[in-house]
Amino acid sequence: MATQQKSTSFSLMGSLAASCLVLIALSVQGGAAVPIRSYCSLDAYDFRQPYITNYTFMLAKEASLADNNTDVRLIGKKLFHGVNMSEHCYLMKQVLNFTLEEVLLPQSDKFQPYMQEVVGFLTRLSNKLSRCHIESDGQHIHRNVQELKDTVKELGESGEIKAIGELDLLFMNLRNSCI
């Protein structure tokens, strides 16, 4: 009986110690629980298909030749300003969704034959990132993305051409931020 009480006592002490460690960890984080699995990620395989990489870069090059506004950069340091590294994938998800919905789909009849394949590829990436969310309110991210949207809209069709001309940057930043 004494052996069983000692065993139960050690088991209870172990559970108590583990609970204390969890509480200490939560207090260090300000009470916020860390998600066990992040949905803000893509597989490296998605970016290793040579034909889609070539199509994306060819489409970007073709559009950049039609881009007359060389003073403006949509995807650059300014887009990432004030955004934590851990939120870069979410930021790029927002840029991807905007680019698909507001730029590529309206321009889908141009820049053939690459456009159809690239839109399909980017749509698959967007679907994979659909569950990607961040813990914070993300106002800094939404402000940066809104600035990009406003610039594209302000430039009109020239802005859409510029966004297509920067698909290579979108591709590279998605890969670097989400893998």
Cβ distance 78 to 144 under 8 Å?
yes
Return the closest-CA partner of residue 139 out of 77, 94, 73: 94
> Cβ–Cβ contacts within 10 Å for residue 158, how many?
15
Instruction: Say how far apart CA 13 and CA 95 lie, in whole Å.
Output: 50
CATH topology of domain 44-178: Growth Hormone; Chain: A; (1.20.1250)
Cβ distance 77 to 173 under 8 Å?
no
pLDDT tens, per residue, the chain with 179 residues: 555 544 444 443 444 333 333 334 334 444 444 443 458 999 999 999 999 999 999 999 999 999 988 899 999 999 999 999 999 999 999 999 999 999 999 998 888 889 999 999 999 999 999 999 988 888 999 999 999 999 999 999 999 999 999 999 999 999 999 99
Helix (H) or strand (E) holding 21: helix 2-28
Instruction: Say how far apart CA 15 and CA 41 lie, in whole Å.
Output: 34
Cα Rg of the chain (Å, integer): 23
**Domain ranges (residues) in the chain:** 44-178
